[in-house]
Amino acid sequence: MGIRLKGAGFERFEIFEKAGGVGGTWYYNRYPGCACDIPSHLYSFSFEPKRDWSRPYAPQPEILAYLEQCAEKYGLLPHCRFGDAVRSARWDEAAARWTLVRASGRTAAADVLVGAVGMFDEIAVPDIPGLDAFGGTLFHSARWKRDHDVSGEAVGVIGSAASAVQIVPEIVKQAARVHLFQRSANWVAPKQDAPYTAKQLARFRDDPEAALAARQKLFESFGGPGIFEGLRADMEAACRASMAAVKDPALRAKLLPDHPWGCKRPLLSNDYYPAFNRPNLELVTDPIERVTPSGVVTRDGRERRLDTLVLATGFATTKFLSAIEVIGRGGLALADAWRDGAQAYKGVATAGFPNLFMLYGPNTNADSIITMIEYQADHVLRQLQRIEREGLAWIDVRPAAMAAWNEEIQRDIAAIAPWQAGCRDYYRVPGGRVVTQWPRSMPAMERALAGLDEEAYEAAPRARARR
């Protein structure tokens, strides 16, 4: 968004970031094995291609370095305010302006507010009795203690989804014992991730068209979640073939999911299943009853004594911007407006919150999120240009337009069979509505955001706002 603003001549903007640097999820998630699950030639900006990714699915340090380089190259760092989280944002109707309050107590005023916190901002801590009493080292995977050495330790990992699938094969190489506490098994497909050869890298570097062709081929391979049902048989077969690496048939049975592929987030790894052949990795499927000062007790009464406990339990993905206090027109809190689940018009605007736009908002998660965010940032920029061009004090999406859009999206979601197979996952609010996922293709998002949709918005000229 910052790059798009500067490119269009907008210089009066600030980027508020609670972390100590740019990168978002790639700044915070630095656990062993952390990598992207979308090929990096596509999981990168279309206007800033990196031609020398070391492998198809780049590891976290490489992605973070790329984002840092982009921020520096495009002159964003002078606009950044690091290490001071925004705690609240309130709309001042009389002034037609947002007031932001930061953790330090400092305030800032803005005519327009863009929420870019995405889905993976607030970590999810499981509600397990005794967790606070654990006497060893305890941390969430997204806040990995990088100075902590697990060598020779007994380590427990709670969770068996995306983060755990990457963490466990790495830490089992150093730890004396690793106990993986699995609530439900997940499908883990093989990953076409052999490092690029020197010849391939030379071709990408020397021939820009080669890297662009690789990106285009990847783009065309993603058809949106509507293809999940058609892919299901092949993907489940591929996952079962990978699972065959586990030598113990009883253990293999515990790793077999009871839901169809596509019901939950698809996972990729070449190392996860083979790790279970190591004698120092135990899969624990008995439910956790409580945490003690010395370990974890499961329902069968057994305590596994631990030195370190890792919470690979993900994020509060359905909160989006309501992870902070946002107050709109008439004192309406975003958390209250979204009491039944987050919703927005085309993922970028929500009724009752003027001049507020979102990137990676409700129902926009699909395929390469970087590509999806580019479409959203371009749309937001066009809305800002309209506000400036027409001398508007504010625009606010009409409730009826937002409701109609969300009814349409939910109908599309209901037609995707794997998402209706009864999974408990990060896609849904407690009421069952899917609020995270985009049910169409990436080009469909681009088309949806191509226009300004003036008829969908209320608008007030600046003169009226001053009266």
Check: CB of residue 381 under 8 Å from CB of residue 427: no
Q: Is the pLDDT of residue 424 over 90?
A: no
Question: pLDDT confidence of 207, banded at 50, 70, 90?
Answer: very high
Question: pLDDT confidence of 62, banded at 50, 70, 90?
Answer: very high
Domain 2-22+76-122+318-431+440-458 shares a fold with domain 131-311: yes
Q: Is the pLDDT of residue 206 over 90?
A: yes
- The Cα 123–Cα 134 span in angstroms is 19
Check: CB of residue 114 under 8 Å from CB of residue 358: yes
pLDDT tens profile 103-146: 999 999 999 999 999 999 899 999 999 999 999 999 999 999 99
| Domain 131-311 indexed as CATH 3.40.718.10 | no
pLDDT tens profile 266-286: 999 999 999 999 999 999 999
Q: What value does the mean pLDDT take over residues 407-423?
A: 96
What is the end-to-end Cα distance of the chain in Å, rounded? 32
Q: Which residues contact 115 (CB under 8 A, 6 or more apart)?
A: 320, 321, 326, 356, 357, 358, 359, 361
Out of 3.40.930.10, 1.10.3720.10, 3.50.50.60, 3.40.50.10420, which CATH number does the structure's domain 2-22+76-122+318-431+440-458 have? 3.50.50.60
Q: Is the pLDDT of residue 465 over 60?
A: no
Residue whose pair of structure tokens reads 């300004």 in the numeric block:
452
Nearest CA-CA partner of 2 in 52, 35, 61, 45 = 45
Q: Which residues contact 217 (CB under 8 A, 6 or more apart)?
A: none
Residue whose pair of structure tokens reads 């001398």 in the numeric block:
391
Question: pLDDT confidence of 9, banded at 50, 70, 90?
Answer: very high
Task: State residue 464's pLDDT score.
Answer: 54
Domain positions in the chain are 2-22+76-122+318-431+440-458, 131-311
Check: CB of residue 382 under 8 Å from CB of residue 138: no
Question: pLDDT confidence of 466, banded at 50, 70, 90?
Answer: very low
Task: State residue 463's pLDDT score.
Answer: 77
Computed over every residue of the chain, the mean pLDDT equals 97
Residues of the chain with pLDDT > 70: what percent?
A: 99
- The Cα 457–Cα 386 span in angstroms is 12
- The Cα 273–Cα 325 span in angstroms is 42
pLDDT tens profile 336-382: 999 999 999 999 999 999 999 999 999 999 999 999 999 999 999 99
Backbone angles phi, psi at 25, to 5 degrees: -60, -30
Here the tokens at position 23 are 């990168």
Torsion sign over Cα 237, 238, 241, 242: negative
Which segment of 148-152, 391-395, 429-433 scores lowest on mean pLDDT? 429-433
Q: What is the pTM of this model?
A: 0.96
- The Cα 431–Cα 300 span in angstroms is 31
